[in-house]
Copies of this chain bind each other. A is one copy, B any other.
């Protein structure tokens, strides 16, 4: 008998945050609700899609990888967002907790059964999928045609809409995550943020530079010359 002692959990090259930290790997179960520690995987690409998820607290990144490790984050999900809704039986992306995150679970099978008889639910599923599609379409425009400054400006505006607390953006994700979301390198993201800060359009609070104040939303919007 030959045992595969090779890598149990592959430390992938994009997030080093879990390295050397033997944290809780198994999610914490509580009825139809799970809590994932920072950087833990919720599901992987090509794994069976048995559940649909709703973020209760925290943040999730959904991404695809190329074989050589290049990563594209397709979406971030924050409080209230629903994700993991696939059509086939397999997930098309990997989902990870960006920070400690609690999600609500829905058995996919239940959805299928109910949606067969319940037209309203079927429509609701369609609406959610469509809103994901709209986001993807907008993001293709960003990835294909916008400059680095425009991408970062668009990102700040998007996050401002989705997770602002009293004018302060508390970004849960790292510069690397932002870069992989925007199709840039982390240094480029950092430079763009510094640039906007020097222009007085935004400011940083705290030393970690993950809290951002939007000083001039008007001018920031000017950098993202939307469709």
| Chain A interface (Cβ < 8 Å from any Cβ of B) | 45, 64-68, 70-72, 74, 86-87, 92-93, 115-117, 119, 122-123, 125-127, 129-134, 136-141, 143-146, 180, 182-183, 225-227
**Nearest-CB distance from A6 to chain B (Å)?**
21
CA distance A226 to B182 in the complex (A): 19
Given contacts A87-B127, A122-B123, A132-B133, whether A71 and B145 have CB atoms under 8 Å apart is yes
Given contacts A115-B123, A123-B122, whether A183 and B143 have CB atoms under 8 Å apart is yes
Could you give 21 example pairs across A and B, Cβ below 8 Å?
A64-B141, A66-B225, A66-B226, A67-B225, A70-B146, A71-B145, A72-B140, A72-B145, A74-B140, A86-B130, A87-B126, A92-B137, A115-B119, A116-B123, A119-B122, A132-B133, A136-B136, A140-B143, A143-B144, A143-B183, A144-B183
CA distance A92 to B136 in the complex (A): 12
Inter-chain contact B227/A141, CB cutoff 8 Å: no
SS class of chain A's interface: helix, strand, loop or mixed? Answer: helix
**Nearest-CB distance from A205 to chain B (Å)?**
29
Residues of B within 8 A of A117 (CB): 119
Closest B residue by C-beta to A117:
B119
20 more A-B contacts (CB under 8 A) besides A122-B122, A136-B136, A144-B183? Answer: A45-B227, A64-B141, A65-B227, A67-B225, A72-B144, A87-B126, A87-B127, A92-B134, A115-B119, A115-B123, A119-B122, A122-B123, A125-B126, A126-B126, A126-B129, A129-B130, A133-B136, A140-B140, A143-B144, A143-B183
Inter-chain contact A72/B141, CB cutoff 8 Å: yes
Residues of B within 8 A of A141 (CB): 64, 66, 72, 74
Closest B residue by C-beta to A145:
B70
| A140 contact from B65, B129, B139, B226, Cβ within 8 A | B139
| A226 contact from B67, B115, B137, Cβ within 8 A | B67
Residues of B within 8 A of A143 (CB): 140, 143-144, 183
**Nearest-CB distance from A76 to chain B (Å)?**
13
Closest B residue by C-beta to A118:
B119
Residues of B within 8 A of A71 (CB): 145
